[in-house]
Amino acid sequence: MSANSAAGSTSAASEPLKLLLARAEAVELSHKDIELVSRSLLAAGEEHALALAVLARTLTSNRSPASSSPVKVQLARLLSGTDSADLVEGFRLCTCIFQVAPDAAAALVKDPEVSSPLQEAIETTSAASSSGSTKGKEKQGQATLELVELLSVAAANPSVRPIVDQAASSWLEDLLGLDEDRLVQPDARRLAATAGCATVKLRLGREAAAATGIPAQKQPSRWSSESIAKRLVDLVRISTASEKVDPVLPPVLEGLAFLTLTPSPKIKAIASEDGFLRHLFAFEIPSSSSTASPRPAAGAALDYAIATLLDQLTRYPEAKSSMAEARQVEQLKRFAAAAGREDEEFAYESSLAVEERVVRIARLQPVPTLRRLCTSPSIQTRRAAASVLHSLVTPQKLRGEMLQAGVARLFLSLIRHLPTPYMASEDIDAVQGLAKLLITANPLLVLGPKPDSPLLLEAAYDLTLPLASPGDGSAGAGLLARFECLMALTNVASVDPNMADSLARMKLRDRPETLVLGAIEEQLLSSNSMVCRAATELICNLAASDAGIEYFEPSASNTGPASAETPSQRLHVLVALTSSPDTPTRAAAAGAFTSLVYSPQTAVALCQTESWRVALVSLLQDTDPGVRHRAYEVWRVIGSVVGQLPASERTQAAAAIGTEPTVRSRLEEALRTEKVDQLKEVAKAAVASVAAI
């Protein structure tokens, strides 16, 4: 009965807020409306969310500036009050304004009508929290906590940060260093953690200003960035015996996320301590409808904080040349010198160092937590989770373990919910991580067990997304991502002829007029030899399908002698690749022709176009036995296919390959000089097939 009464009361309190939101357009709120919104911001659940929405709508409208609105009057009145309840409400209102309209908040706190009472409120609250008086202790403690949360939010605003730094930096550092005997209380730990988060923002703001030459007031500090990180981690460790861990985690995670933005191996080592991460991975996000505390941390916000921290702990550095790495090290040294920090605190992390940390994190069973993050309604949380998962599958020694944990299906789920059109710069991690897994393991074991598995076909479709993005620059997928997707598609295409045929007929999601084969063909022209090789190997697999043969097949008008001057451009590129200096590329191109020549049109075109015929004949003298094997097979099939054509077409093709030096004579010469016994039989079959035309 009491639960129903509480629900009814909450619903009744929300109705006026719903009416404010239901207005056709944003209008200036009355003083009575603002008082309602201000009180409702102290509530939890729906009432708080509605009040925040009304506030955001009011402050972001262009009807009147925040400095002349009733919001300013209400804020000044609350901050001028001597009652702790007024201060709590005033601090909460100011915090929420910073959250929904930071520019408006900055204008308000600089306005003399607000800044003066705010300064007095800060001095009064900080002095009362340091006095040790027990009078009104509970209300005083709530006011202190609300003020520290306000200062933490405001410290993230560059235009307000110097004001916070001057007014409260020393007090915030004192709160961060609260005595251990006070930290047994959850609210005290939350207070220390929030003060630490604010201190981090102030410190990093000073350092950034110093590094860029902007004058900044230096505040003495007894905390180094490393000691702050250690303190934040310890606050969570102390909390493990308490059920109310939730209030402590958000500020701790936010502070660590800011600290790990800097390239400091020491700080990242602290933030990735086994005990801290085990607790993080064991933690369960409470329901957003919980009423256990006045304002429980939103599960979505906490998920984002966890995902962001893990992303920064596991992200690999971008591949750089040795000169680029040296330049980055010098830049870090200059930044450290300007910020007044030790060189050792800023250091370039190699990929090997990051991999060691990634392997250690993987041993702590992070996948259940990441699975929850992958289902978050926030696209940014899902992107961070995808980045973490991609990092976890980057070391080959972890891929088997990640496959067993179901990471391949997590990647599919993430890709399934990507926005359209696909943005490679934002969403490459899920696709590239899936590609890594399908390169390493048999696709049938990963997403089978049957070749016609819907998941396997979905994975093939997903792997084509980076191929549709333009270029290799910042707007498109990088060379490594394209290479890995092409390699994975080659593995998928090899599982079954029907899969290869389906892939060859598939169209790009964001370019529905373009076949996947067309996008792969574009990669044949890549200046990067590895991308070109991977694309050629994939073409070799797809060429064995009916759709692949049809795609490269010249039109009927291009097979006669009169049209020999206008050969198929698709075949022209593939023929050119048979002369590539890269042996695997050459072998793959030749292998594609072993399938394509089963088309009579293609066989005739290759015979009648002199440059193509010469290129294929030259393969008979290749130094690689695999290439020679394919060349013999190409001519054997050509002889068989042409021999079955009508007499007129057969005569024309025979005349072309009989041009000196004849294909038959070159085949016979290759047979005489062939040193590999297994290839001699193939060469004999090719000679006999061509001779029978």
Reduced to 3 states, what is the DSSP secondary structure of residue 158? coil
231 pLDDT above the threshold of 50 = yes
321 pLDDT above the threshold of 50 = no
Position 82 confidence tier, pLDDT thresholds 50, 70, 90: confident
Please give the Cα distance from 460 to 455 (Å, whole number): 9
- 344 contact partners, CB below 8 Å, separation of at least 6: 266
Q: What percent of the chain has pLDDT over 70?
A: 83
- Same-domain status, 522 and 412: yes
558 pLDDT above the threshold of 60 = no
How far is the CA of 444 from the CAs of 430, 451, 465, 571, in angstroms? 19, 7, 21, 32
| Residue that is last in its domain, among 495, 527, 548 | 548
- Give pLDDT, residue 627: 97
State both tokens at 569: 């451009």
- Same-domain status, 388 and 484: yes
- Give pLDDT, residue 214: 53
Greater model confidence, 67 or 455: 455
In a domain, 671, yes or no: yes
Please give the Cα distance from 47 to 150 (Å, whole number): 20
3 pLDDT above the threshold of 90 = no
Please give the Cα distance from 255 to 227 (Å, whole number): 12
Do the beta carbons of residue 359 and residue 399 sit within 8 Å? no
Residue 345 DSSP code:
G
Q: Domain of 661?
A: 561-691
- Same-domain status, 542 and 572: no
Please give the Cα distance from 197 to 571 (Å, whole number): 62
Number of structural domains found in the chain:
2
- Same-domain status, 434 and 478: yes
211 pLDDT above the threshold of 80 = no
- Same-domain status, 531 and 593: no
- Same-domain status, 569 and 649: yes
Query: What residue type is 515 in one-letter code?
Result: L
- Give pLDDT, residue 318: 80
- Same-domain status, 424 and 518: yes
Please give the Cα distance from 310 to 260 (Å, whole number): 10
- Give pLDDT, residue 66: 53
In a domain, 469, yes or no: yes
In a domain, 204, yes or no: no
501 pLDDT above the threshold of 90 = yes
Q: What percent of the chain has pLDDT over 90?
A: 61
The residue count for the chain:
693
358-372, 568-582, 651-665: the lowest-pLDDT one: 651-665
pLDDT (tens digit, 9 = 90+) per residue, 378-390? 999 999 999 999 9
- Same-domain status, 667 and 568: yes
| Residue that is last in its domain, among 548, 576, 603 | 548
Please give the Cα distance from 442 to 136 (Å, whole number): 67
pLDDT (tens digit, 9 = 90+) per residue, 246-284? 688 999 999 999 999 887 899 999 999 999 999 889 876
Please give the Cα distance from 660 to 670 (Å, whole number): 16
The domain that holds 623 is classified in CATH as 1.25.10.10
- Give pLDDT, residue 336: 46
Please give the Cα distance from 117 to 641 (Å, whole number): 93
Rounded CA Rg of the chain: 34
Do the beta carbons of residue 575 and residue 539 sit within 8 Å? no
Upper half-sphere CA count for residue 181 (Cβ side, 13 Å) = 0
219 pLDDT above the threshold of 80 = no
In a domain, 83, yes or no: no
Residue holding tokens 């933490």? Answer: 152
- Same-domain status, 540 and 412: yes
639 pLDDT above the threshold of 80 = yes
42-56, 194-208, 212-226: the lowest-pLDDT one: 212-226
In a domain, 179, yes or no: no
Q: Which residues of 343-374 are buried (b: 16+ CB within 10 A; e: fewer)?
A: eebbbbeeeebbbebbeebbebebbebbbbbb
Average pLDDT over residues 276-305: 67
- Give pLDDT, residue 246: 64
- Same-domain status, 676 and 639: yes
Average pLDDT, whole number, for the chain?
A: 85
State both tokens at 72: 């300013």
- Give pLDDT, residue 182: 85
In a domain, 4, yes or no: no
In a domain, 164, yes or no: no
- Same-domain status, 601 and 518: no
State both tokens at 359: 């392997």
Please give the Cα distance from 335 to 303 (Å, whole number): 32
Upper half-sphere CA count for residue 396 (Cβ side, 13 Å) = 3
472 pLDDT above the threshold of 60 = no
- Give pLDDT, residue 193: 95
| Residue that is last in its domain, among 519, 548, 577 | 548
pLDDT (tens digit, 9 = 90+) per residue, 397-453? 999 999 999 999 999 999 999 998 999 989 999 999 999 999 999 999 999 899 999
- 670 contact partners, CB below 8 Å, separation of at least 6: 620, 621, 628, 632, 683
- Same-domain status, 515 and 583: no
Of the candidates 544, 541, 522, the one whose C-alpha atom is nearest the C-alpha of residue 531 is 522
CA 279, 282, 288 angle in degrees (round to 5)?
110
38-42, 335-339, 475-479, 544-548: the lowest-pLDDT one: 335-339
Average pLDDT over residues 180-201: 91
Cis-peptide, bond into residue 443, ω within 30° of zero: no
Q: Which residues of 42-69 are buried (b: 16+ CB within 10 A; e: fewer)?
A: bbbebbbbbbbbbbbbbbeeeeeebeeb
In a domain, 431, yes or no: yes
- Give pLDDT, residue 237: 82
Reduced to 3 states, what is the DSSP secondary structure of residue 452? coil
Please give the sequence-ordered ranges of beta strands (E in DSSP) within 523-666, or none if there are none: none
